[in-house]
Amino acid sequence: MKTKLVKVSDLKLGSVIANDIKANTQYPIIYKNTKITREHLPVLKAFQISQVTIISSPLGSNKIENEDDGLIPIEQENIIDSASIMPFERKYIDVVNKIKKEFINWESGSKVNITKVRTYILPLIDLVLENRDKIFTLNEFSTSEDYIYHHSVAISLICAVIAQKMGYSKGDILQIAIAGAVADCGMAKINKKIREKTGPLTEYEFKEIQEHPYYSLQMINSITILKQEMKIAVYQHHERLDGSGYPRGEKGSKISIFSHIIAVADVFHAMTCERIYQSKESPFKVLEMIRETEFGKFNIQVVQALMTCVTDLPLGSKVELSNGLEASIIFTNKTSPTRPVIKVVESNEIIDLSKYRNIYIERLILER
């Protein structure tokens, strides 16, 4: 294998790194055999890497081809504007309002119209599967007054992303997403005063809340286009591996993998949102809490699938830190994805968040 040393300023997209590139971090900032993309450039610049060793004759599969040498010079790369005609937030709010109308109908005794729910949700599912980082901003749209409607839509979208990350087929992804959307439809049968109570629930009220998975199953049981395993997932989505969940206190292998997908999506969104009795919380901090303090309650594969969505965030992604400063992600810590290496916008200071536990990412800043 032939290699050559090149200046970063002469580096071309599609070049393959010959050796691990190391800096003052726990792991290499770019690994051997990595194909250079535009996302790697701010990393090299941030760590003041002026030269890198590349494979001089990369295989065709590692090239981004053009008419000259098969590699695209960095300065000639075309930037594609992928901004949608209608902002995601507006589409999301529109779907929440439609689900709210359906929920009010369920309160009045109407049957679940799964065709309507499916029609409302599908366009959003397609959007988040293409842009998985959207799931880290859903809590910003939710309000305490309309939380239950936001929650139904958000669970659906997060379920879709988790299922995609776990390698399920498009058909199963859509099935679990629809199941997630109606997982809490049974809450329509719970007294509104109990649902919206600001103080502690009485033992009777808590037991009534714990009945909602059963009510949900009753409401969807006759729907033929929803697979039986998805109906079971709806019924079991508050069960936990250690037997601490409800309604039956099932444990271990008695809880289906699809139940765990809805469970993780449910808890993740619930813990991040402003509610009547809690303030909004950082999605990144909540992920750490799920992995650390809730260990043993959820299927680890499902939790890991959600965690890897953080590692998928493009380098250069803008974030707001818990101390109020804005920064950009310049390197992802594979073993601690919620704590990447960041560069503070104001000072250009580089901070490895895995070494500073008192600072965390408060929120992801996306282009609207």
- How far apart CA 245 and CA 185 sit, in angstroms, is 19
**Contact at 8 Å (CB) between 30 and 45?**
no
DSSP-derived 3-state class of residue 37? coil
Please state the length of the chain.
Answer: 368
| Same domain for 302 and 318 | no
| Same domain for 327 and 305 | no
| Same domain for 294 and 318 | no
Percent of the chain with pLDDT over 90: 66
Pick from 25-29, 69-73, 343-347: least confident: 69-73
Among 76, 106, 125, which residue terminates a domain?
76
Q: Report the CATH number that the domain containing residue 35 is assigned in CATH.
A: 3.90.105.10
- pLDDT at res. 194: 94
**Contact at 8 Å (CB) between 271 and 286?**
yes
- pLDDT at res. 57: 59
| Same domain for 277 and 331 | no
| Same domain for 120 and 59 | no
Structure tokens at 37: 């993309």
| Same domain for 110 and 252 | yes
Whole-number mean pLDDT of the chain?
A: 88
**Rounded mean pLDDT, 29-53:** 80
127 falls within a domain: yes
**Rounded mean pLDDT, 68-93:** 53
Give the domain range for residue 332: 314-365
DSSP conformational letter for 85: S
**Contact at 8 Å (CB) between 325 and 342?**
no
More confident residue, 92 or 21: 92
| Same domain for 276 and 167 | yes
- Whether 298 shows a pLDDT value over 60: the answer reads yes
In tens, the pLDDT along 104-113 reads 999 999 999 9
- Whether 77 shows a pLDDT value over 60: the answer reads no
- How far apart CA 341 and CA 315 sit, in angstroms, is 10
In tens, the pLDDT along 236-295 reads 999 999 999 999 999 999 999 999 999 999 999 999 998 877 888 999 999 999 988 777
**Contact at 8 Å (CB) between 302 and 166?**
yes
83 falls within a domain: no
More confident residue, 368 or 357: 357
288 falls within a domain: yes
| Same domain for 344 and 199 | no
- The residues, ordered by sequence, that sit 6+ positions from 236 with a Cβ below 8 Å of its Cβ are 213, 250, 255, 256, 259, 263
In tens, the pLDDT along 203-220 reads 999 999 999 999 999 999
347 falls within a domain: yes
**Rounded mean pLDDT, 109-135:** 95
| Same domain for 185 and 242 | yes
- pLDDT at res. 69: 40
More confident residue, 2 or 100: 100
**Rounded mean pLDDT, 55-65:** 50
- The residues, ordered by sequence, that sit 6+ positions from 169 with a Cβ below 8 Å of its Cβ are none
Percent of the chain with pLDDT over 70: 90
Task: Provide the domain count of the chain.
Answer: 3
- How far apart CA 113 and CA 102 sit, in angstroms, is 8
82 falls within a domain: no
In tens, the pLDDT along 154-191 reads 999 999 999 999 999 999 999 999 999 999 999 999 99
- Whether 68 shows a pLDDT value over 60: the answer reads no
